[in-house]
Amino acid sequence: MNNITIRRVKSFVTAPNGINLVVVKVETSEPGLVGYGCATFTWRYKAVKTAIDEYLDPMLQGKSVHNIEDLWQTMMGSSYWRNGPVLNNAISGVDEALWDIKGKLANMPLYDLLGGKSREGIELYRHADGNSIEEVKENVHALIEEGYRHIRCHMGTYGGNFNGKRQRIIKPVNAPKGAYYHPHKYMNSVIKLLENIRTDFGNDLEIMHDVHERLSLADTLTFVKELEQFKLFFLEDSLPPEQCDFFKILREHTVTPLAMGELFTNPVEWKNIIQNQLINYIRVHISSIGGITPAKKLATFCELYGIKTAWHGPNDLSPIGAVAQMHLDLNINNFGIQEFAGFSEAEKEIFDGCPKIENGYAYLNDKPGLGISFNEEKAKKYPPVEMDFSWLFSRLPDGTATRP
């Protein structure tokens, strides 16, 4: 068995939901034995694809499929400069595919290979927004009806104002184009929304909210304190990755559970906030840190400090990526909750083996490896699309560029 080698690494882009997804296939010397991984960094997917096609494919051809740890270290080191979302996603595509292959060789689902299930179903949370409090509440209600117990509630989109309907903003003349939002109006609108939600849905509903890094440190601090009354399940990404030192001060002012990290792409970003127990949920986008290999290590690190997982899981990752996370979710002891955005029919058509969702839980199948396959032909029906970047050009009322 030790002579199975990588024959080829191929990348695919498909957009079944209007969002470009990057899928990696690792073909092996063993006829019929392939693995799939997710490399979706949708906002720079072409650069990821170049990294896979031009560097990882030639570098890996002929290498043994077995030594995933060694290959991961080699891929990471071989660019000299390393980390960052482009290279990490490329590596993730290969890494996940190799774990898929490993499972197939073992004839085991990945969760089984990693040490078996720690639970039977994966608790999910969903996102609800709307242009009015009523509209949000309707969306919340619908999700509850579907069986969900954990819902992230937002006025408008992030910052409360992507489509410009909710906030009246006085801009200076000649202000450049962009996705303007007003921090204080946004904060006030969330407070009102949550008051309404708690009144209507009671205290049993588990509520999340996502700051999406849009607030200054000063505003974040005020906001976390005021939010405490709503007993959130957690508050997401209250700080940008460059400012995580500020969690020390934030933590002193709130007992609200803090989730962080969908933008992390470098181990230095999460090290201090974990070893100082400043957050409660780690939220990385696992392909952005390099796949299953580093995500499993990160989960282990978090377990040591009593921190749980809440992997980033909206529809800017492929069902393969979603399933990869869920194998970890089933396996590790310190699973917290899983973000989930649903699978479209188009996705299910392309990706065979999507988990079953029932009563707010996800259930993986028990096929070997990741248990999900990619239909290249059907994927062609959903070719890459031009994406709307405009919400990423976020600006304060006076025109200051913010991230994101």
Q: Can you tell me which of 126, 127, 149, 166 binds a copy of itself, judged by CB under 8 A?
A: 149
**Neighbour tally for 343: CB within 10 Å:** 19
Closest separation in Å from C-beta 377 to a copy of itself: 26
DSSP-assigned letter for residue 175: P
Q: Which residues contact 44 (CB under 8 A, 6 or more apart)?
A: 85, 86
SS3 content of the chain, % helix, strand, coil (to 5): 40, 15, 40
Cα angle 162, 168, 174 (rounded to 5 degrees) comes to 85
**Dist CA 391 CA 43 (whole Å):** 12
Q: Can you tell me which of 11, 92, 238, 288 binds a copy of itself, judged by CB under 8 A?
A: 288
Interaction of residue 107 with a copy of itself, rule CB under 8 A: yes
Closest separation in Å from C-beta 176 to a copy of itself: 7
327 is catalytic: no
28 forms beta bridges with 6
Q: Can you tell me which of 165, 380, 381, 403 binds a copy of itself, judged by CB under 8 A?
A: 403
Applying the rule CB under 8 A, the residues between 338 and 377 that interact with a copy of itself are 358-361, 363, 366
Smaller CB distance to a copy of itself: residue 113 or 322?
A: 113
Smaller CB distance to a copy of itself: residue 3 or 377?
A: 3
Interaction of residue 146 with a copy of itself, rule CB under 8 A: no
Q: Can you tell me which of 12, 27, 97, 102 binds a copy of itself, judged by CB under 8 A?
A: 102
Interaction of residue 129 with a copy of itself, rule CB under 8 A: no
Q: Following CA atoms 351, 338, 140, 229 in sequence, which dihedral angle do they give, to the nearest 10 degrees?
A: -160
Q: Can you tell me which of 8, 253, 380, 381 binds a copy of itself, judged by CB under 8 A?
A: 253
What Rg, from alpha-carbon coordinates, does the chain have? 21
Q: Residue 1 burial by CB count (10 A; 0-12/13-18/19+): exposed, middle or buried?
A: exposed
Sign of CA dihedral 232, 210, 152, 366: negative
Interaction of residue 200 with a copy of itself, rule CB under 8 A: no
**Dist CA 126 CA 314 (whole Å):** 9
Interaction of residue 325 with a copy of itself, rule CB under 8 A: no
Helix axes 85-106, 319-331, angle to 10 degrees: 60
Interaction of residue 73 with a copy of itself, rule CB under 8 A: yes
Catalytic residue among 125, 158, 186, 281: 158
Applying the rule CB under 8 A, the residues between 162 and 191 that interact with a copy of itself are 170-176, 184-185, 188
Q: Can you tell me which of 5, 30, 33, 50 binds a copy of itself, judged by CB under 8 A?
A: 50
158 is catalytic: yes
Q: Where are the beta strands (DSSP E) in 69-216?
A: 122-128, 150-153, 179-180, 206-210
Smaller CB distance to a copy of itself: residue 14 or 189?
A: 189
Nearest to 14 by CA among 393, 292, 315, 339: 315
Build a one-symbol-per-residue string for 210-239: x at contacts with a copy of itself by CB under 8 A, - elsewhere. Answer: ------xxxx-xx-xx-----x--x-----
Catalytic residue among 212, 285, 312, 327: 212
Q: Can you tell me which of 18, 29, 70, 385 binds a copy of itself, judged by CB under 8 A?
A: 70
Closest separation in Å from C-beta 138 to a copy of itself: 23
Closest separation in Å from C-beta 375 to a copy of itself: 26
Q: Enumerate the active-site residues.
A: 158, 212
